[in-house]
């Protein structure tokens, strides 16, 4: 029978570095941004002399597991194995360090356990501190229990999960390459919109628009819609500049929806308010389930019937990094943490407008890419489902 253990009994939590390092020894410095929440690994880090990071930072070794303790990093899955350029490292004080006892516990097996969705949910419930500064305590990790088969069996399980993870990463990279290709096609056909070296006509955005729609934000339930319920989109449905309809909150039964705010295929959505780095995200709605409503923080652009413009072109123009920075400069507001862009300022935004035929040719090429992308996304969704199933079975002793 497989025994069950507590993490504190088979791993060292937040250990001190045993090695005595010379002050000029080169170590790797990792910030929170160096942790890849998707792949569960880290970047190589930045080389630092040990004396520069010996105080005021968390110290660890290559191969240790790093668990982000602070919100929202923990909830976002910032749990990874340190894979640095140097044997020793230092980094954010917001990391818990977990060092498995290699005689009993395989590090990859433990990493897959710590990245279980149910571990993340349980950790969120155990967070302490005030809003915005809530942290997962070390005691939460120490008391985690999980099955502990032989090290050989742990390695077999980790290899199975790692194998599926490799396939997932290949699909993610294929999708990223297609996204890069879309950006390259835009630059090839239209050039840098800010430099406008091809001298495209520049007109105020308002000359193309019939209106800009605003949504509303009624009181919502703390869960997504189900069983054909009405729901309001969250900002995260647009923030990535890809429309994600699953990012929504159901409205309570009996609340009358604002029917005119329902999102439809072909809509171009825009986040008018968010943090300075995330405001002015724009998403094109290729397809959407019914009964999804815009919130008050998202605009919808309505083009004039005779405007010589293709929405897909405007989408790619507004998500172009240089152009988006220009749009973000339109933001006002006194709060440094939240920026807001008004309809009036958007109406005056200068838009580079190539000939309609060229825009249509661009849209055709993007449509072709999107069909390929859809295939990869579907495959990735299937692999994600398989991985979650295998992960769950592995820690029930069924794999």
One DSSP character per residue, 73-142 reads: TTTTT-EEE---SSSEEEE-TTEEEEEE-TTT--HHHHHHHHT-HHHHHHHHHH-BSSTT--B--HHHHH
pLDDT digits (tens, 9 = 90+) for 266-293: 999 999 999 898 999 999 999 999 999 9
Structure tokens at 252: 């309570």
pLDDT computed for residue 341 by the predictor = 96
Dihedral pair phi/psi, residue 108, rounded to 5°: -70, -40
pLDDT of residue 215: 94
Taking alpha carbons only, the member of 143, 79, 77 closest to residue 110 is 79
Phi/psi region, residue 129 (left: phi>0; alpha: psi -120 to 50; beta: rest), is: left
pTM of this structure: 0.83
The reported pLDDT for the residue numbered 12 is 96
Of residues 332 and 163, more confidence is placed in 163
Q: Mind listing the pLDDT tens digit for each residue in 27-54? A: 999 999 999 999 999 999 999 999 999 8
pLDDT of residue 333: 65
Please indicate whether residue 70 or residue 399 has the higher confidence score (pLDDT): 70
Residue 49, both tokens: 């002399």
Q: Does residue 134 carry a pLDDT above 60?
A: yes
pLDDT at 374: 96
Give the mean model confidence (pLDDT) for residues 124-152: 93
In the sheet that holds 65-68, the strands lie side by side as 11-13, 95-100, 65-68, 79-81, 41-42, 35-36
From CA 309, how far away is CA 327, in angstroms rounded? 19
- Whether the CA torsion 260, 266, 272, 276 is positive or negative: it is positive
pLDDT score, position 336: 59
The length of the chain is 399
Handedness of CA 26, 30, 34, 38 (dihedral sign): positive
Mean pLDDT across the chain, nearest whole number? 94
For residue 398, the model assigns a pLDDT of 85
Question: Could you tell me where the beta strands, DSSP code E, fall in 289-394?
Answer: 292-293, 298-303, 339-340, 350-353
Structural tokens at position 161: 């999960």
Q: Identify the pLDDT of residue 332.
A: 82
The sign of the dihedral angle between the CA atoms of 31, 32, 33, 38 is: positive
Residues 137 and 128 sit within 8 Å (Cβ to Cβ): yes
Integer Cα distance of 106 and 152 in angstroms: 9
Instruction: State the CB neighbour count (10 A cutoff) for residue 127.
Output: 17
Domain architecture of the chain: domains with CATH: 3-148 (3.90.220.20), 151-200+354-398 (1.10.287), 201-352 (3.90.220.20)
pLDDT at 334: 55
């Amino acid at each position: 029978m497989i025994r069950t253990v507590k993490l504190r009994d088979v791993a060292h939590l937040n250990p001190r570095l045993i090695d005595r390092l010379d002050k000029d020894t080169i170590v790797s410095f990792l910030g929170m941004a160096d942790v890849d929440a998707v792949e569960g690994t880290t970047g190589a880090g930045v080389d630092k002399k040990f004396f520069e990071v010996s105080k005021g930072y968390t110290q660890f070794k290559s191969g240790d597991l790093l668990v982000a303790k602070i919100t929202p990093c923990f909830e976002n899955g910032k749990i990874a194995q340190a894979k640095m350029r140097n044997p020793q490292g230092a980094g954010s004080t917001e990391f818990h360090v977990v060092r498995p006892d290699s005689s009993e516990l395989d590090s990859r097996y433990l990493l897959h356990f710590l990245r279980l969705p149910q571990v993340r949910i349980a950790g969120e419930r155990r967070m302490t501190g005030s809003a915005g500064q809530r942290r997962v305590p070390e005691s939460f990790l120490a008391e985690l229990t999980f099955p502990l088969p032989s090290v050989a069996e742990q390695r077999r399980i980790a290899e199975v999960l790692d194998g599926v993870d490799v396939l997932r990463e290949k699909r993610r990279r294929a999708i990223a390459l297609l996204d890069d290709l879309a950006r390259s096609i835009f630059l090839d056909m239209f050039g840098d919109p800010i430099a406008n070296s091809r001298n495209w006509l520049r007109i105020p955005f308002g000359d193309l628009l019939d209106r800009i729609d605003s949504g509303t934000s009624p009181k919502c339930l703390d869960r997504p819609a189900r069983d054909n319920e009405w729901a309001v989109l969250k900002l995260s449905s647009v923030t990535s500049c890809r429309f994600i309809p699953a990012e929504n909150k159901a409205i309570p039964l009996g609340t009358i929806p604002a029917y005119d705010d329902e999102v439809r295929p072909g809509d171009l959505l825009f986040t008018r308010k968010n943090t300075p780095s995330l405001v002015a995200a724009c998403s094109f709605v290729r397809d959407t389930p019914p009964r999804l409503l815009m919130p008050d923080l998202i605009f919808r652009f309505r083009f004039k019937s005779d405007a010589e413009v293709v929405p897909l072109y405007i989408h790619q123009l507004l998500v172009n990094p240089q152009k988006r920075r220009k749009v973000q400069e339109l933001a006002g507001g006194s709060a440094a943490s939240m920026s807001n862009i008004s309809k009036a300022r958007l109406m005056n935004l200068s838009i580079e407008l190539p000939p309609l035929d060229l825009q249509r040719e661009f849209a055709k090429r993007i449509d072709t890419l999107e069909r390929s992308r859809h295939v990869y996304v579907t495959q990735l969704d299937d692999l994600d489902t398989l991985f979650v199933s295998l992960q769950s079975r592995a820690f029930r002793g069924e794999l």
